[in-house]
Amino acid sequence: MRVGDDRTPALSGVQLWLDQLPRWRMYVVALATGAFSALAYAPFYIAPALAVGLCVLVWLMDGAARHHRPMRAAFGRGWAFAFGHFLAGTYWVGAAFTQVDGAMALMPLGVLSLPAVLALFWGVAMMVAVRLWTADSRRIGAFAGALILAEVARGNAFGGFPWNLAGYTWEAGSPLSQVAAFVGIYGLTAITLLVLATPATLADSHRGWAARATPAMIAALLLGFLWGAGYQRLEAAGPVDARAGGVAVRVVDPGFTQREKWTEGREREVLERYLELTGPATADNAEEVVVWPEGAVPARYPQMPVLMENPDMLDAIGRTLGDRVLIMGATRIEYDNNGSPEHYYNAGVVVDGVSGQAEVRQWHDKFRLTPFGEFIPAFDLISWLDIPTLQQIGTGFTPGDPPSRVVIPGAEDALILICYESIFPGLVPRGAERPGWIANISIDAWYGEGTGPFQNDNQSRYRAIEEGLPMARAASGGVSSITDPYGRKVVEVGREGGAVEAALPVPLPETINARFGFLLTPLLILLIAFLRFAPPGAPARGFRS
């Protein structure tokens, strides 16, 4: 143990109890607490669970700061907590392995390896934080600052996986979620980490009651102020349908599981179900835009041609569309000079119906591919293992260009975000290239019956808040909806499938985040990190100043 000084708090109460546990029990407590804290995310939104988890992690770091190997102790405790946190938040990835023949043997590896890798970011963050640790409340600044920098890295490094950031604790469309319109999801995450970790100072029994309680009271006041500001923003916006006035949009999800959809011989049945839910063309719906999910209709190349090479499929869609426009997910193929397939793209295509004739005129090739779902990172290094499932994925899709707006006849230009892309902030073009709405298409059926579809739905709707744009979301096997620019649902399709339609809400002017977030969010993160370097308060009892 290191001798207590102004950088290492004296341990008592819960801090001392945690530090005196045998190492394996300490790691079990860290893992279990991390898992418990995941209740903060959709569909539960139990924010106190994350507050409890972060406070326990601070207390574990209090003990690590006094350890004879503080950085090693900090990494182990931080990694164990984060492993439990991400395991409880991403366990649903195992459902994807049940949808693919021959993949079940890989399920344990997939379920455990993802949280293990994500936890490395938190482990390193705790190593940094413990080097800056203090005996007073300034350590919360070091803690939150190191964690938000780790979260930014997690969301961008090696392709990025910004899933279940702390800011997503607040349901999209709620008062606190409105903060994202000013500082984005990373700014809201920084504030959430700081505020929910601050009550850890209440356990600092070596300090007076005022010194312990004041930081928690300030954090509560800050949270209350932000809630009030968000509430006023929503009140000024009026009811959820107050901004209706755009083109009518119809969102369709037939409710098929992936295995049902990909059962050989069911392609025509799947298509007919989509056409049934889309409904016939009439004089009243001629200006309507229809949105189908990602990978809507299964197509096995070369056994069954993909959409743009399948006249029969296009004719069937055209007869139902009439003069309407359809946005849907499809596979797009580019060929080499010999006519052989060279690149496969997961595309969002715009099918323009003109008097019953359908034509694909525009598309967006998915830019952010899903690791281990649409491509294998460093596949060249592991292809020699010759695992059939990995071989199939590793030779799969090619990434496209960053999203850009597409022209929608009869409606404002749209931006198509395909599944995984919608969890990444900052993909919407700015200025003159800004679209009028977002079409988010997804296959959430991969996530099974767990919490994954609800998490994806909540995270996707934050893009509407950040950008001030309405969103039409068609998520196969998930939650499909039309959302206003404040993240509130206008209409919704449950996970059992169906179709809904509504007038698309009118977009807001560019939000503060859209215009200045590239500057304000980093400044906010730096401000929180630099709380560690604020002047110390009165010396703690029993400590050297």
Phi, psi of 328 (to 5 degrees): -150, 165
Q: Which residues pair with 473 in a beta bridge?
A: 440, 481
Tokens 């007073």: give the residue. Answer: 136
Spell out the residues 6+ positions from residue 83 whose beta carbon is closer than 8 angstroms to its own.
31, 34, 115, 116, 119
Dihedral angle, C-alpha 397, 403, 407, 408, nearest 10 °: 70
- Orientation of helix 47-65 relative to helix 23-37, angle to 10°: 150
Contact in structure between 167 and 188 (CB atoms under 8 Å): yes
Report the SS3 class of residue 463: helix
Which of 419, 466, 467, 489 is catalytic? The answer is: 419
489 is catalytic: no
Which of 171, 267, 294, 467 is catalytic? The answer is: 294
CA 312 to chain centre: 37
Phi, psi of 39 (to 5 degrees): -65, -10
Contact in structure between 364 and 370 (CB atoms under 8 Å): no
Cβ count within 10 A of residue 405? 20
Report the SS3 class of residue 418: strand
Sheet architecture: strand order including 480-483: 414-418, 437-443, 471-476, 480-483, 489-493
How far apart are the C-alpha atoms of 321 and 65, rounded to whole Å?
65
Contact in structure between 60 and 77 (CB atoms under 8 Å): yes
Q: Which of 107, 103, 17 is nearest to 63 (CA)?
A: 17
How far apart are the C-alpha atoms of 347 and 331, rounded to whole Å?
6
Using alpha carbons only, give the angle 441, 444, 445 rounded to the nearest 5 degrees. Answer: 125
Contact in structure between 293 and 329 (CB atoms under 8 Å): yes
Q: Which of 430, 429, 377, 423 is nearest to 399 (CA)?
A: 377
Angstrom CA distances, 73 to 52, 64, 67, 70, stand at 21, 5, 7, 5
Whether cis (ω within 30° of 0) applies to the bond prior to 371 is no
Q: Which amino acid is at 321?
A: L
55 is catalytic: no
Q: Which residues pair with 482 in a beta bridge?
A: 472, 491
Q: Which amino acid is at 7?
A: R
Using alpha carbons only, give the angle 356, 357, 359 rounded to the nearest 5 degrees. Answer: 140
How far apart are the C-alpha atoms of 90 and 520, rounded to whole Å?
30
Which of 151, 261, 366, 467 is catalytic? The answer is: 366
Spell out the residues 6+ positions from residue 193 whose beta carbon is closer than 8 angstroms to its own.
54, 143, 144, 147, 148, 166, 528
366 is catalytic: yes
Catalytic residues, by residue number, are: 294, 366, 419
